[in-house]
Structure 1
Amino acid sequence: MCLILFAYKHHPKYPLIVAANRDEFYSRPTAPAQYWSDDPHILAGRDLKELGTWMGITVHGRFAALTNYRDPRQHTSDALSRGHLVANYLKNQQSPQEYLEKISKQADQYNGFNLLVGDLQSLWYYGNKQGQIHPVVPGVHGLCNHLLNTPWPKLEKGRQQLAHCLMQEDDFEDELWQILTNGEQAADDLLPNTGVGLELERTLSSIFIESPEYGTRSSTILLIRQDRWVTFVERKYHSSKSSWQESSYEFQLEDHLL
Structure 2
Amino acid sequence: MCLILVGWQVHPAYPLVVAANRDEFHARPTAPAAFWDDDARVFGGRDLEAGGTWLGATRDGRFAAVTNVREPGATKGKRSRGELTARFLLDQQAAQIYAEALTPGDYSGFNLLLADRETLVYASNRDPGHQILNPGVYGLSNHRLDTPWPKLLKARESFSRALDRLPDETAFFELLADRSIEADDRLPDTGVPLAWERLLSAVFVQSPDYGTRASTLLLRNAAGDMVLYEKSFAADGSQTQSSRISTAV
The alignment's TM-score, normalised by the length of structure 2, stands at 0.96
The alignment partner of 1:132 has SS state of strand
The one-letter amino acid of 2:232's match is K
Unaligned regions of 5+ residues in structure 1, if any?
Answer: 254-258
Contact 1:181 1:241 (8 Å CA) reproduced: no
After the TM superposition, which residues 146-165 of structure 1 pair with which residues of structure 2 at under 5 Å, given as runs? 146-165=143-162
Shift of 1:171: 3.8
Quote the residue 1:2 is aligned against: 2
Structure 2 distance, partners of 1:242, 1:157, is: 23
The alignment partner of 2:83 has SS state of helix
The question of 1:248 aligning with 2:248 is answered no
Shift of 1:242: 3.6
After the TM superposition, which residues 89-128 of structure 1 pair with which residues of structure 2 at under 5 Å, given as runs? 89-103=88-102, 106-128=103-125
Structure 2 distance, partners of 1:215, 1:230, is: 27
The one-letter amino acid of 1:113's match is F
Shift of 1:115: 0.3
Structure 1 distance, partners of 2:69, 2:142, is: 4
Q: Deviations for 1:140-175, whole angstroms, at most 9, x for unmatched residues?
A: 11000001001001100010001112233x343001
Structure 2 distance, partners of 1:211, 1:194, is: 19
The one of 201, 212, 223 equivalent to 1:227 is 223
Contact 1:73 1:195 (8 Å CA) reproduced: no
The question of 1:166 aligning with 2:163 is answered yes
- Stretch moving more, 109-118 or 187-196: 187-196
Structure 2 distance, partners of 1:251, 1:68, is: 29
Structure 2 distance, partners of 1:167, 1:85, is: 32
What RMSD over aligned residues (CA atoms) do the two structures have, in Å? 1.3
Structure 1 distance, partners of 2:157, 2:229, is: 22
The alignment partner of 2:92 has SS state of coil
The alignment partner of 2:247 has SS state of strand
Shift of 1:230: 1.5
Shift of 1:190: 1.3
* Pair 75,185 (structure 1): closer, same or farther in 2 beyond 3 Å: farther
Contact 2:5 2:159 (8 Å CA) reproduced: yes
Unaligned regions of 5+ residues in structure 2, if any?
Answer: none
The one-letter amino acid of 2:84's match is L
Quote the residue 1:12 is aligned against: 12
What is the total number of aligned residue pairs between the two structures?
Answer: 249
Structure 2 distance, partners of 1:3, 1:66, is: 10
The alignment's TM-score, normalised by the length of structure 1, stands at 0.93
Quote the residue 1:256 is aligned against: none
* Pair 239,70 (structure 1): closer, same or farther in 2 beyond 3 Å: closer
After the TM superposition, which residues 68-83 of structure 1 pair with which residues of structure 2 at under 5 Å, given as runs? 68-76=68-76, 79-83=78-82
The alignment partner of 1:74 has SS state of coil
Contact 1:7 1:17 (8 Å CA) reproduced: yes
Q: Deviations for 1:21-49, whole angstroms, at most 9, x for unmatched residues?
A: 00000000000111111111110110000
Quote the residue 2:131 is aligned against: 134
